[in-house]
Structure 1
């Protein structure tokens, strides 16, 4: 309530300051003209007295009377002009008053009608205390808490994956390392740190990253994701036999219809191995069936290309409906690249990175295929 009174007083003071000069101007001008006319009339009366007493020659008296009369007429005419201009000045004063007073009055009325003056303010402290679903406020609250309590491992553990999804890779690495230092290593924390390091190096699994993934595999040997990155790191280092062994281990431990099987088999073949029996991916959605393969063998080159294009487009449509499929995006990007459709390959890569922003496979694929997409260094 005090604030309202202060604002109202300030508005009134500003309005008065703007209007006051217009009110004073007319009064001052009128008073000055009236005093000037009275002076000239007194001079004429004095001139008549001097002439009657013989103090001035008649001819000089006439010259003086003519000059005083001219000045008197000029002053009187100016006074009349002021009288004529006064209504205009009053009109200008009225316009000024309207312009000065109407906007704040209208604004106040609109706020009272449409606003909520009874709603209490909510400073940053209150918003941080109740951030709701606002991720930015959640992050700000956690960061503020950690600035005061840097040894709170759970806070770092909470922030790390958020930083990674937001591609704040430097902050994500710091958060993961702090969480591991305080809370200890776990497969999830180690895998998160490893993926952060891969993303920071444009899809390259560095020695540091591979070491982290190897620690994660020791804690959880059945985690195909960490083991895949170990194999990818060995492959990038030119250690094909060791990489193939990692990928074959993943293939043997995975169900036949696992969505990552095609990608794993590609890396097995790339490193000189053969697809594990019973682990082919013919029945994985988006891959050709045995009947499709048989039919393709009897087709012309043009019909075969049309069939392949239709299968790729079908995979793209399924990914639009169910985008939470990393292996599907990798398959789609590679398929468009093989078909020579670089614009669609880049569009698919960009869509995949939006869904999986920290995916080392997609980043590595972008470098392998020479694709340029925002956020991926070539």
Structure 2
């Protein structure tokens, strides 16, 4: 059903938007974001050389900074003012609430206007909004006890758990979804991404296996290909990673939201490898 697909995609979009909004203030533009993160990478390397941090700590921090670089085009605010945490959660709450409410209404494609009016009329705190989201997630969990073969429901529940910081529960739910829909490449890639998040940004063997399975079903899945590249970086095969990422960039739709972030990360890697990023990375 179209309405369900849209609702589900809203939750997936939230997965890309909500964590950056809650983690940090938003710069006015992408360039400023990227400049900040590049400086952080330089400072990180300097700390490593001085022995302030260990190689393992540096790798974990480096991975997190690079993940934030990827999130820049999705998280950056269009206005000059940075949104507050409450405002960020208000946006996130609306996306999750509408998505889950639509799913939980047993086929009703839209919500009454009073739902939105009630939201607009009151100034709910961030904690109240999160409480509402948690309640709706628990309703979905209860629904799945009665309908345990609903792969899309488990997928929605899993990704919602991940965004709420309940990563291990999210992994379990996504694993159920994969069992029910094993040929879904995007689902396998999301499951792998949750494993990476649970491992602090490290592409574990289990996560890598999930990405490999995703690519068996869809050799062009961008999420799986990105993390395959990240795995290569983490194993010291940076040239192979750069080759893979540049191929993904070359084949990506010009309007892909994630493209600017991946291009910036590939350029960073090209510079590290002493290659001209403007020549190496497709523009």
TM band (smaller chain): 0.3 to 0.5
Q: Which has the higher contact order (CA 8 A, sep 6+)?
A: 2
Q: Which has the larger radius of gyration?
A: 1
